[in-house]
Structures are given as structure tokens and as C-alpha cells.
Amino acid sequence: MSNREVAAEVIRRIGGNSNISSLTHCVTRLRFELKDKSVVDLEGIKAIPKVLGVVDAQGTLQVVIGPAVEEVYLEIMNLTGRGEVEEESATASGPDKPAGAQGKPSGGVKKNSRFDQLLATISAIFTPYIPILATSGIIKGLIDILAKFDILPATSNTYLILAGAGNALIFFFPILLAFTAAQRFGANPYIGAAIGAALMEPNITGIATTGEVIDFLGIKFTAMNFSSTVIPIILAMWAYSVLDRYLKKFLPKPTQFIFVPLLSMLIMVPLTLMVFGPVGGLLANGIASGYEVLLNSNHIIFNAIFGALFIYVIMLGVHWVILPLQLSYLAEHGMEYSLGSGGLGNYALLGVCLAVLFISKSKEEKTIASSAAFVNFLSGVTEPGLYGVIMKNKKYFISLTLGGLVGGIIFGATHSYITNFAFTGLFGLPAFLSSPTAATYMLSVIVTITLSFVLTILLSKREFSFKRK
């Protein structure tokens, strides 16, 4: 089937265009928010060529496509006319339709739980930035390696320009997050981005030093620097969306074109500095403290758990919820543990796929395993292996889990950590090799791949011998 035919069949199986509230995609999955999940033909979706699996999590129906996900996504947008709808709603300044609105579930339809809505919201805000986050990590890792070997001096203009390319997203994250958060909450994303940009404006950053007391109209408050922060701007955008709705409700329509953005900026910039910055900072510090308590309670167990189980978090599609916490810790401390140990599950999966490629007698299984191993090795994409290989034999779960577990133990025992975020695999390797603990990290990777490979072969041979008897 062509991508267009796959898109048309997916639309039909999920209940048609009228059943779609919104649609986004990540690296390998289409993420649908549906008005009524009871009309979805799950088995029919799974049977579509190019569909690797279906996951119902985070309040979204996730259709796993693999590397062709963007092409299928664009076909769905074209077939449903959603590209035009989103463009119009995103640029509209009128009061009738909030930016990014896709319609609400009609009466009588079962709604997602509050928790599901929260997970879906976090996913929608962060998912668009994951590829460029990984790219930033690769750039930073590569130039750090070159600087270590004196190939590219850290004081050179070339280094500084490339460092700017790598640091841009993290440093200006509040602006970008403001855009997707405002869009998610039903407000104008361009005004949201302008609020985020104001917080990074030199006059404000010049006085808003974290921990210092400053004032606005004589009201004193504790300032904070918003660069690399996550929680404060999301809270601010939720508040802005509430303000946006009230302004459009009470202001006469002819005045809304000017006064909605004007009042939004005048109210939300000071309010974010005075309220949501400090409150968000407290929440972020509390989360970071909880993370450190878990980490310091037993370094080995902490990383062993991530090594063994984080791959299943990915399988369930809820890894985007944990990722913001990891990124916040990385931005604040310049290093992070669980991003490294959690990625070992990807390498355990690679070991399983290589073993299946080596021992399988089925040409179809060999083809699936080889393609899954290839994309995993290059870019750390796991869904083809998870749904095309692991789900076919429950014994593979043993190899997958134990491989990641032992790798996590080694990672924790050697106090390894990473200093840049990237996907696992060859393309992301520079980000991981730039860490001072790159040698012990690579040791855990090699052990993970080798152990999962050997275990898969041993378990498969044992199964084969039982069948012969």
C-alpha cells in the first residue's frame, strides 16, 4: 500500500475524520485524540500494511508506523483537510475560534480521565521538539569531542557559532514551549511565544537574576532566570489561556484584534515573573529533589531499574511524560543519569534483533529483524523491533529485560552519566561520547548488546530442543 492508501485506511478504521479531535506525530507514531474510542477498529488498524502496532495510552490512540510516520501523517492531514484548518485557526486573531482548536467531543461521548488528559497535554507540548533536542545534543557532543582533542579550540569563532546552534533550543526553550503550550490550551500560540520571548529579553534577564529580590510597581518578589526552564512557562500558558478566554468573552468584538494581545502581554509578562516563575521554580526544585533522593538512595538499583524497564515505558508510549523531568535535571546540572541507563534498553533490543537475524529460519522474520536492527543501530528508533520482533515471542522479553538490567547495574556501579541529550544509536553517539564517563558508558552498552544477543540465542535453542523432543 502507498502512504496515501495507508492514511485513508487508518482514517476509516478510527471512525472517520469526524471522530478525530486532534492529530500529532512523534518519531514513529501517529497520536490521535479521538472523540469516541468505542468506534475504533483496533484489529483492523493492526492489519494495515506499514502499521507496526497500536497503543492506547496518555489519553491518545497511538498508531505505530515507524520511519514513514511523517509521510503518512501528511497524507492524513491532506485527506482530512486538517492542514488548512490548523493554519487558519493558528493565525486567526478573532474570538470565534481559539488557535489550534480542533473541536470538542460531543455530548454523550465518554471522555478521557483527568490523568489521561494531563499525559496527553504534556506529550502534545513536548513531542514536536524531540528531534531537534536530539540534534542539539549531537552538535554539542561533536564539538566537545573536537575541543577535547584540540581539533577545534573552544575559543575559536567556529566553535562558538556551532555551540550557539547546539545551545539555542535549550536556552530559548521557554519561547518554543510557550508556543505549543498556548496552542494546546486553546490560546493564540503567537502571543504565547511573545510572552515567552519577553522573559528572555535582555532588559528582563539583566535584572531577573535567580534568587534576587526585585520589584514591579513597588511589589517585591523573588526573581528567577527562565532560560532552560520548563514548568514555569507551562503554568503561565495555562493562565494565559484562561485570560484569553475571559478577554474574548467580555471585550466587544471590534476591539479584540488590538486589546486581546495588548492586555495579554501587559498582564501575563509581569504575572509570570512574579507568580509563575517562583511557583514553577519551587515545583521544579521539588521534583529535582525527589529525583536526587531516589538516585542517592541506591545509585545501582536506580539505574538498574531504568536499564531494565524504561524500554517498556517507551513501548507504552508514556516516555514523553518522564522526558521533561530528565531534561530539566540535565539543563540545571549539566549532567544526567537515567537518560543514559534508560537508553540501554534500546541496545538490549538491538542485541535481540541481531540474534533473531542470526538464528531465524524464516525469511520474513529475518527481514523484519534486520530492518529493525538497522534503524535502531543508526538512530535509536525502537518501535519496529518492539512490535515486529519482541511481541512475536515472549521469551525475547527475558533477554530484553536482563540485558538492560545488567547494563544498568554496570552503568550505576561505575557512576556513569551523560552530558548531552540525544537518541541512542550511531547518529547520537557524539552526544554520549562527550561525557567524562564515556568509557564506562560504552562498557555498559557493549555488555547489554552482548548479553541480550547471547540470551536470545540460548533461549531460542532451548525452545527448539524442547520442540524436537
Name the one residue in this structure whose C-alpha cell is 564517563. 437
403 within 8 A of 455, measured Cβ to Cβ: yes
What are the residues facing 418 on neighbouring strands? 336
Domain ranges of the chain: 3-80, 129-284, 298-468
Amino acid 386: pLDDT = 84
Q: With cut-offs at 50, 70 and 90, classify the pLDDT of residue 267.
A: very high
369 within 8 A of 453, measured Cβ to Cβ: no
At residue 445, does pLDDT exceed 80?
A: yes
Share of the chain above pLDDT 70, in %: 88
Q: With cut-offs at 50, 70 and 90, classify the pLDDT of residue 456.
A: very high
At residue 86, does pLDDT exceed 50?
A: no
- pLDDT tens digit string along 202-247? 888 777 776 678 778 888 877 777 776 778 888 999 999 999 999 9
Which helix (H) or strand (E) segment holds residue 30: the answer is strand 29-34
At residue 84, does pLDDT exceed 70?
A: no
At residue 411, does pLDDT exceed 80?
A: yes
240 within 8 A of 264, measured Cβ to Cβ: yes
Q: With cut-offs at 50, 70 and 90, classify the pLDDT of residue 112.
A: low
- pLDDT tens digit string along 154-199? 888 998 999 888 888 777 888 888 999 998 888 999 999 999 998 8
> Does 3-80 carry CATH code 3.30.1360.60?
yes
Distances (CA, A) of 37 to 16, 33, 41, 61, 382: 12, 9, 9, 8, 26
Distances (CA, A) of 93 to 137, 228, 260: 36, 29, 9
State the Cα–Cα distance between residues 372 and 369, nearest whole angstrom: 5
- pLDDT tens digit string along 15-50? 888 888 888 887 778 888 888 888 888 888 888 888
| Full strand arrangement of the beta sheet holding 53-57 | 20-25, 29-34, 60-64, 53-57
